[in-house]
A and B are shown apart, each in its own frame.
Chain A
Amino acid sequence: MLLSVVTGNLLSKKLRTLLTVAGFGVCVNLHIVVTTVMRFISEDLDMQMQRFTGRLVIQSRSAAGTTGIEWPPISSSIPFEAVERVLVSDRVQRSKSTAVSFAVLAPPPFATAPPEALVVGLEIGREDAFLAGAPAMLGTNRLPADSGAAGHEPAPVILGVLAARYLAAQASATTEVESPIGPIALAAPGSDLEIRGAPFRVIGIIEPQTNQLLRSCVVMPLESARALLGQTETVSAAIVTPRRTKDIAELEAALEASHPALMVVSDKQLTASARQLLDRTQQFFRVVRWTAVVVAALLITVVMFVAVLERTKELGTLRAIGAPGSAITGMILAEALLVALAGSALGVPISRLVIMKALGPDAAAIRSRRIEAQSVGLLTALGLLAAILPAVRALRVDPIVALRYE
């Protein structure tokens, strides 16, 4: 019965209830989305760095900007001839070391992500320096041995899923695959497409459960990438794996000594730099997240205060006919709880849509029920706390004053 009074009150002010629920829902949505993006970026960085363990990157000094070491070193450019000298060193494990050329085909889907489609030129037979064992979902993850020769056209490409989705529109054939957001069309293995005017043939799609960088890559023979970029004397960078893992520090020191003009970045340095950048991003996200929490709590406080004030007569009547204090506070808290739950019921589905749009099909898989439950739990609990002040105010309604109400 007390609950009917509560729902009756909510229904009697439909527009206000709707707006409050919507406001709370937006906060819930924001909290879930931001938490998920934070988790996604952090986990993705871990996965990227895991594949990079035991490797060195050689890049130009200019690629070390004020925001840390650039990864991937897209804006770097180093003499090819210097790279060739490094790669023949007997401390270097040749099969897992390669010169690399990068070119951006499509901008990042969100600020801290790699480009949605990124050309990665690799030496044939040395793909693992970059792919680090990432398996193929369709076709192959190896560039054919004879495909580097000039005039061998179309050149082969191996695509990450995001790149394959991006290139699907211009591919001669597409294939549908299941994804967390339903079936999506990818440029099919065997199909032909053009990249910056040059013809290519898709030969494989990389397994998506890797990381955002691998999902975005368009792997092609180094020579094809250099031709696309017009890099006649240069490449973007080199990825170098020492013959023995424990020699990585030694190799780094030796390379730095022999090539003072280049920058040698170890896996540890890169991880530390990326972490630092990540921390700064996370700090911003944390502020956004707390803003959502504070706004949700303030919303409940203000709305419930107004509700208590305009219901002086009803509350005073209840008090006059002998309702205990617990019934009065219970009513106010129940009303706040209903608003919070309705807001959550609205915010959670919206957040699912937003996450799929923002993070792409595979990233959507990381959207977890746990984050949703935590966000809903936190905001609902704080919503209830925020209703305590109005509830106490409701307790202080003097029945005599209420009975004098006209």
Chain B
Amino acid sequence: MLAARGLSRSFRVGASDVQALRAVNLEVQAGDFVAVVGPSGSGKSTLLHLLGLIDSPSRGEVRLQGEPTGRLGAEARAKRRLTTVGFIFQTFNLLHSLTTRENVEIVLQLAGVPKGERRKRAEVLLRTVGLGERLQHRPASLSGGERQRVAIARALANQPAVLLADEPTGNLDSKTGEEVVALLEELNAGGQAVVMVTHNAALARRAKRVFAMHDGELREVTGGPA
């Protein structure tokens, strides 16, 4: 469903090349819950950006629902980011001038969902993540955990094939982080494929498959963290 083959990404910094990702292979099936752990700077975010079509690889390719994405133009990639992947950021990245409901509705609007329907869908989603009572709040008046749950509702809005979460608990205390992972678990139990990056080994253990990233190389650590 989502596959990375020989994925490499290098960044030019001054005169030298930083090899952030080295020939990474990864296959995510429908219903999968994949966790990626690894030290800071090992290339986890880089991998997630490539999987989410936010960045383009130096070599290798990403296949999304069987479709090679290497030749897609900027607008086609934006369209797939909108409809087939859902991205959750460590820093939430909500739009501060919009209410909770509008933050979810906006991706439905961008996808062309008619007004009445997107309102209803946004409310259902926000109730699912436990924010049914916070529809008219603005991000500034929400707690960190609540903000991340709005971001999750937004990522789910267009029923993506896969949810990509880059350290979704990185800015949350352990209890709130635990709640967010529980929510992801619950969604996965409903059939939602999830890829989560974290450096919290305990949280990673909750996934069905765990991968370790080290110096741009990815290997599966089946049966628990190394």
Contacts and interface: CB of A to CB of B under 8 A. Distances in A.
Nearest to A327: B110
A2 B105 CA distance: 10
A403 to B, nearest CB: 6
Interface stretch (B79-87, B187-195, B198-206, B214-222): B79-87
A322 B81 contact: yes
Contact of B82 (A9, A313, A314, A322): A322
Interface in B78-110: 78-83, 87, 89, 91, 93, 95-98, 102, 105-107, 109-110
A405 B55 CA distance: 16
Interface residues of B, number: 29
B61 to A, nearest CB: 19
B214 to A, nearest CB: 22
Contact of A4 (B79, B87, B98): B98
Contacts of B106: 1-2, 5
B93 A1 contact: no
B120 to A, nearest CB: 15
B74 A5 contact: no
A324 interface: yes
B110 A4 contact: no
Contacts of B75: 324-325
A319 B105 contact: no
Contacts of B80: 322
Contact of A400 (B49, B82, B105): B49
A302 interface: no
Interface in A1-40: 1-2, 4-5, 7-9, 11-12
Contacts of B81: 320-322
B44 interface: no
Interface string B36-55: 00000000000001001011
A138 to B, nearest CB: 61
Contacts of A2: 106, 109
A1 to B, nearest CB: 5
A151 B157 CA distance: 98
B87 A1 contact: no
A358 interface: no
A93 interface: no
Contacts of B22: none
A117 B42 CA distance: 87
A151 B98 CA distance: 85
A76 B93 CA distance: 79
Contacts of A7: 97
B154 interface: yes
A139 interface: no
A323 B78 contact: yes
Nearest to B158: A322
Interface in A303-332: 313-314, 317-325, 327
A403 B89 contact: yes
A322 B107 contact: yes
Given A321-B87, A322-B82, A322-B83, A4 B54 contact: no
A355 to B, nearest CB: 39
A5 B107 CA distance: 13
B183 to A, nearest CB: 19
14 contacts: A1-B105, A1-B109, A4-B97, A5-B97, A5-B106, A7-B97, A12-B97, A317-B89, A322-B111, A323-B78, A323-B82, A324-B78, A327-B110, A399-B54
Given A5-B106, A8-B96, A320-B87, 11 more contacts: A8-B95, A8-B97, A12-B96, A320-B81, A321-B82, A322-B79, A323-B110, A324-B75, A324-B78, A400-B49, A403-B93
